[in-house]
Amino acid sequence: MRQRGRRKQRNVVPESRDRWMITYADLITLLLIFFVIMFAMSSLDTAKYNSVTGSLSETFKSGGSVLDGGNGELDGNKGTESGGPGVVPAPQSTDLPGNGADSGGTGTEGSVQPSSSPAPGAAAAVGPPSERELAFREQEAKLAELVGVITRYVEDNNLDNQIFVADKPQGIAITLSDRFLFDIGRAELKAPALPALTQLSELFGGIGAKISIEGHTDNTPVSSASRYNDNWELSGARALSVLRFFLDSEGLDPDSFQYAGYADTRPAADNSTAAGQQKNRRVEIIVLRQLQEEE
């Protein structure tokens, strides 16, 4: 009897002390799943959600509810015989002039010819140009004529290497080389340059735009024997000489002009070469665009 009782005690498995870890692991797993679900819900695109729900709501509202006595069909799905909204009726055969053979027209019987009258509002969309637009067109025409006249003058007098004309966003730029206008290091106009400046003054008289005269130099410092302290004074003096010719000799309106000296701060070419320095020593006369096209 004692031996049997001892055998039963040996077959009993002792209770584990670590069973709480299983429950703890299950709890941690459930918490992890819970926070993942919360994160996914917080990342919902509310704009798309509202758009989809609104679209579905409008779709179901547009149909007649069966509970309210309707047939449950949406308006856009009704047959052509019902003539309901969303259905384009087929064109009917009419006896308009030019449709049938009896009228002598070229169209087939029953066809509908397009109307020649403009759609409502089409006449209002294409109205007469505004005063500003007319002024802009007039100014552009004058600038285009100016470019043509100066280009022909340069070609006729073989001044291709002395005077350059370009159409820039700010206006028509007329670039004159310093060799054409001045002696080295000086700001007095040379006699051979006066006929070209006179020709320009005749064109500027009726252009009706602001004209900017800008002096430029290269990066070489002025000599110690120069009457000017630096390139700023030299470039400004050269621009002023051209301005004085237009005002004093040609009698143009002072209110139409402005001038400035930029020294070597706005180079047109690389100052590391002699050819580049020559391009940078210049006077630019810019006929400014003061009217901009309305958008």
Query: Mean pLDDT over residues 3-24, rounded?
Result: 67
- How far apart (Å, rounded) are the C-alpha atoms in residues 95 and 253? 71
What number is the average pLDDT over the span 190-216?
Answer: 89
**Could you tell me the CATH number of the domain that includes residue 276?**
3.30.1330.60
In a domain, 50, yes or no: no
Domain count for the chain = 1
Percentage above 90 pLDDT, the chain:
34
> Which sign, positive or negative, has the C-alpha torsion 9, 12, 16, 17?
negative
Domain annotation covers residue 61: no
- Average pLDDT score over residue span 33-53: 73
Residue 178 lies in a domain: yes
Mean pLDDT of 67-83: 48
Residue 3 in domain:
no
> 0.85 exceeded by the pTM?
no
Residue 281 has pLDDT above 90, yes or no: yes
Mean pLDDT value of segment 169-191: 92
Q: What is the pLDDT of residue 71?
A: 52
CA nearest to 264, candidates 191, 168, 178: 178
Please write the tens of the pLDDT for every residue from 135-160. Answer: 778 778 888 888 888 888 888 888 88
Does residue 200 sit within a domain? yes
Q: What is the pLDDT of residue 46?
A: 66
**Which has the higher per-residue pLDDT, 14 or 143?**
143
Check pLDDT > 80 for residue 227: yes
Quick one: pLDDT at residue 127? 73
The domain of 266 spans 132-288
Q: Answer yes or no: is 247 within a domain.
A: yes
Residue 245 pLDDT > 90? yes
- 8 has pLDDT over 80: no
| Residue 46 main-chain phi, psi, to 5 deg | -65, -35
> Residue 183 carries which DSSP code?
-
DSSP collapsed to 3 states, 241-284: HHHHHHHHHCCCCHHHEEEEECCCCCCCCCCCCHHHHHHHCEEE
Return the number of other C-beta atoms located less than 10 Å from residue 203's C-beta: 16
Burial of 235 (0-12, 13-18, 19+ CB in 10 A): buried
Indicate whether 226 belongs to any domain. yes
Q: For residue range 115-124, list pLDDT tens digits in order.
A: 444 455 444 4
